[in-house]
Structure 1
């Protein structure tokens, strides 16, 4: 299996060009996310990829910082921000864990389509809790590929992904269930405010620091 940064660097150009597969679900969760954010908020997006979501949220907040493990992804995000003349964004190369070990605080932390790819996700959740104030929001959408709601596809994923990883065609993947994911957030010191599957394979969760 390839190093994660190398894997994502290689696919970054194609990733940037690929259309969103379920635009209706993306737009719905984007608007739900914006409803929890304020114009004076400082926001951190983990695993920002090429920055598309950060740039859409930027007009609604004071500042958004996007981080990603892939330098190639971050380069694309910076280029897009400059082209759009969006000045309240900052993009950094960092793992999810490194992003929460900085001496900074945020009003909200976001992470979309990320945590099934993070081996130390539970440690990251604890770090997120530390950089948020009491009542701050952690908003995420995570494919829970091990959940029964995925149906028969979960068995196909478990059969297909290991050989793809061996060939360097897939990154590290965790097969979480919806309950395992939400229980991990609760253990890290969050309460679940809102959750749902949008689309069916992905668990959207709004969690608040208690």
Structure 2
């Protein structure tokens, strides 16, 4: 399996994904509120794993520039349709990964990654790329499932079986405390860790971290 396989999975499921509802609307609104509060004046934001652009369309109006990216051309195509229907000044969309962008000259003072880190294949490497994409004292804000803290049946049986038959993408398994250690090892200071879930027992911590 490879990044190309991951892209094909999301291309194949992009239209169905676009029709799915937010599972926890109140928790999502809390995440948007807390993230918006941390955006600095004249923010230059990069979002990784933007999917069909839902969050980008909600946050980009509070920034100077906002580049929303995803590994999937299919996801970006839907995001472009949404942006055309509801234009937001300063919002740009692109099919790209953190690794691709890190080799370019552009740097940002905020990087966002929502429901993203558990999908990357090299978590330490991706975090190093995110660190490189940020200006000094820049913020990385994430919210991602920590599968290592979830039901063992889900992570040890159900997810591997679904992945094997093409019904689920690659998913990395780590605990919230392990994610914090990975962030520190990549050169981040964790400023806040919060649980925004308003229903269920999911472990999907919202984390704000500063480049050191």
User: Which residues of structure 2 form unaligned runs of 5+?
Assistant: none
TM-superposed deviation, 1:32: 0.4
Supply the distance in 2 between the matched residues of 1:185 and 1:167 (Cα, whole angstroms). Answer: 32
Aligned residue number for residue 52 of structure 1 = 54
Stretch deviating more after TM superposition (90-99 or 28-37):
90-99
Q: In the aligned structure 2, how far is the partner of 1:39 from the partner of 1:83?
A: 27
Query: After superposition, what is the alpha-carbon deviation per residue over 1:91-112, rounded to whole angstroms, capped at 9, x for unaligned?
Result: 1111232233321110100000
Q: TM-score, normalised by structure 1?
A: 0.94
Q: Within 1, Cα distance between the matches of 2:53 and 2:152? A: 29
- Equivalent positions of 1:51-70 (< 5 A) are 51-70=53-72
**Any stretches of 5+ residues in structure 1 without a counterpart?**
none
Which residue number in structure 1 is paired with residue 94 of structure 2? 92
Retained in 2: the 8 A contact 1:64–1:88?
yes
Mapping of residues 1-210 of structure 1, within 5 Å: 3-147=5-149, 150=150, 153-199=151-197, 200-210=202-212
Q: For the Cα contact (< 8 Å) 1:38–1:60, is it kept in 2? A: no
For the residues of structure 2 that align with 1:32 and 1:204, how far apart are their CA atoms? 9
SS at match of 1:198: coil
1:173-203 deviation digits (Å, cap 9, x = unpaired): 1111001101000111110111022323202
Distance 1:169 1:53 in 2: 25
Question: Distance between the aligned counterparts of 2:154 and 2:35, measured in 1?
Answer: 31
Contact 1:33 1:139 in 2 (8 A): yes
SS in 1 for 2:136: coil
d(CA) in 2 for partners of 1:74 and 1:65?
Answer: 12
TM-score (norm 2): 0.93
1:39 shift after superposition: 3.9
Contact 1:137 1:206 in 2 (8 A): yes
Cα deviations by residue, 1:11-70 (Å, 9 ceiling, x for unpaired): 101111111000111110111001110341110000000011011001100010011010
CA RMSD, 1 decimal: 1.3
